[in-house]
Amino acid sequence: MAQDMQVFLFGDQTYDLVPDLRQLLRCNTKPILSAFLEQSHYVIRAQSATWLSPEEQQRSRSSNLAHLLQKYSDGDLNPAFQVALHSLTQLACFINHYEEPGRPYPSPGRKYVVGLCTGALAAAAISSSSSLSELLPAAVHTVQVALRLGLLANDMKDRIETPTQESPREWSAAFFDMTEAAAVSALVEFDSVTPVPCKLRPWIGATSSKAITISGPPSVLRRLIKGRALGQYKSRTLPIFLPSHTPQLFSIQDVEKVLEATNPVTWSRYNAKLPVLSGATGKSDWGGSFVSLLHRAVRECLMEPVRWDGVSDSVTKIARSLEVKCVAVTPVGTNLEHSMSSSLKDITKVQIEPLKSSDSPLFDTVPVGKAKLAIVGMSGRFPEAPTPEAFWDLLRQRP
């Protein structure tokens, strides 16, 4: 069925990036993808050298992106690299898909981009470009911004609470079947019986109809989960290892610090070609610049909670106003596509269209000139047979 509307959905850091990025690193037949991965590794190394301590620089030093990913997978990197690698993976998935022959870059016209948390960074670059060659420099710069964002949040984490080897590291937990009003009430109760300094108080980081995400220092979050105020709700800690989405820790000055290396003049010709829906409000920015979209993305990551219901409602309203017969939802680094599909299915048909590279297996992506060569030889003495061929004939004749 032909789509009338397409929504690109870029998710947050709860998505496991490792399998996707490992697969992308095995593809070396696409020059733009290869250039993006190589240049991104370079800016990650360069940015690390200007921000990290000598000890952390040594720990994060890597010969290539595959080496860096292995260190991340082994838990040898500080959490700032998760932010950079998450944005990098989303952008690489997009480039990999549209570098296939016969797949034109998305053009304006009933196409919308949704960015949740760090997904808003990739959304800014993609919506502000009209081709892969134009996207390449913006995508590399976005990876730099993502790492700066992660490093700033990591500095805040270390000032508030540095975990020991045995202590929990997660800064967020999802509480299921809970309303936002109930979450607010529970946090007020927790604050009244567990006095902590303002910067240590837990906060609401994300809301949806099925769960509320509450964030805070790991030690405080553990007490909250086990306490009376929220003990009745089923909960699950999330793989988020940095503070985010709260003005009690971050300010607009922090946003500006993250974007210090983003020169508006350099990106003056990059303007939004596709509308981007905010993960904090659900509202769209049409015609904004790449720099303004990055500014909004960083501000939302640091200072504003994600409101999934608002995003779903906005997409539903757009689909209803356009009277579309089918909406294609394209998830990029997220598992929320089915949740969006559920919110749309009452008014239109929905197709889930993941990004793909090709239908060929991964081993077909290796160029013939670089394929490994196996030379197999055989020799032996075979009873009752003068040659190997005669020996096989003899075996076939045996019952």
Q: Which domains does the chain have, with CATH numbers?
A: 5-161+248-352 (3.40.366.10), 172-238 (3.30.70.3320), 368-397 (no CATH)
Show Cβ contacts of residue 90 under 8 Å, excluding neighbours closer than 6 positions: 10, 11, 119, 122, 332, 333
Q: What is the pLDDT of residue 360?
A: 41
Helix, coil or strand: residue 206 = strand
Q: What is the mean pLDDT of the chain?
A: 89
pLDDT-based confidence at residue 244 (cuts at 50, 70, 90): very high
Q: What is the pLDDT of residue 1?
A: 46
DSSP character string of 129-141: -SSHHHHHHHHHH
Q: What is the pLDDT of residue 332?
A: 97
pTM above 0.95, yes or no: no
Mean pLDDT of 137-163: 95
pLDDT-based confidence at residue 228 (cuts at 50, 70, 90): confident
Lowest mean pLDDT, pick from 55-59, 126-130, 368-372: 368-372
Helix, coil or strand: residue 205 = strand
Looking at the chain, how many residues does it have?
399
Q: What is the pLDDT of residue 194?
A: 85
Pairing, β 284-285 against β 306-307: unpaired
Lowest mean pLDDT, pick from 21-30, 160-169, 180-189, 241-250: 160-169
Mean pLDDT of 273-283: 94
Q: What is the pLDDT of residue 99?
A: 97
pLDDT-based confidence at residue 195 (cuts at 50, 70, 90): confident
CA 355 – CA 8 distance, rounded (Å): 10
361-397 tens-digit pLDDT: 433 444 434 444 444 455 555 556 666 566 555 555 5
- Using the predicted structure, report yes or no on whether residue 218 has a pLDDT greater than 50: yes
Q: Which residue has the higher pLDDT, 386 or 242?
A: 242
Q: What is the pLDDT of residue 383?
A: 58
pLDDT-based confidence at residue 96 (cuts at 50, 70, 90): very high
Mean pLDDT of 213-236: 92
pLDDT-based confidence at residue 288 (cuts at 50, 70, 90): confident
Q: What is the pLDDT of residue 87?
A: 98
- Using the predicted structure, report yes or no on whether residue 148 has a pLDDT greater than 50: yes
Assigned token pair, 134:
């134009």
Assigned token pair, 355:
């990004």
